[in-house]
Structure 1
Amino acid sequence: MADDIKTLSFEDALAQLEQVVTQLDSGDVPLEKSIELYARGAKLKDHCDAKLKAAEEKVAQITLDAKGQPTGAKPAEGM
């Protein structure tokens, strides 16, 4: 289950997370299925958080010239 999540784009993971939330909110899901959905939702949320953090780090690495204009990006530490 978690392996398929690792390959998802942010947008696909977010869409799946929204589906999980909708199903759980409906109240029509049996208990065992609810537990499975909750676990998948937690993994999807973590994946989305990691993708956002990586994007924020890339944006933070954009360098500016003396006029405040972007000149490119410098490699982030550890990349």
Structure 2
Amino acid sequence: MTDKTLTYEAARDELVEVVRRLESGGASLAESMELWQRGEKLAQICQGFLDGAKAQVAQARPAPTED
């Protein structure tokens, strides 16, 4: 699955795994850097989904009226 075809849930689950691996402390420095970079990318993907959902909710809400 490429980054462009990841669902929010898949990106979130992979991010959780990246964080778990980083927190375990067993990775080399090089591997930790790769994990960190992957985690940053996954966080951006998740944030994009959340921003899109927020925009859809805002668009679906009726505009506030002045009394």
Q: TM-score range by the shorter chain?
A: 0.7 to 0.9
Q: CA RMSD in A?
A: 1.4
Which residue matches 2:60?
62
Using the size of structure 2 for normalisation, the TM-score is 0.85
Greater RCO (CA < 8 Å, at least 6 residues apart): 2
Q: Percent identity?
A: 40
Structure 1: 5+ residue stretches without partners: 65-79
* Rg larger in structure: 1
Quote how far apart the aligned CAs of 1:63 are: 4.3
Q: Which is strand-richer, 1 or 2? A: 1
Q: Displaced runs of 4+ in structure 1, greater than 2 A?
A: none
Aligned residues: 62
Map 1:38-77 to 2 at 5 A: 38-64=36-62
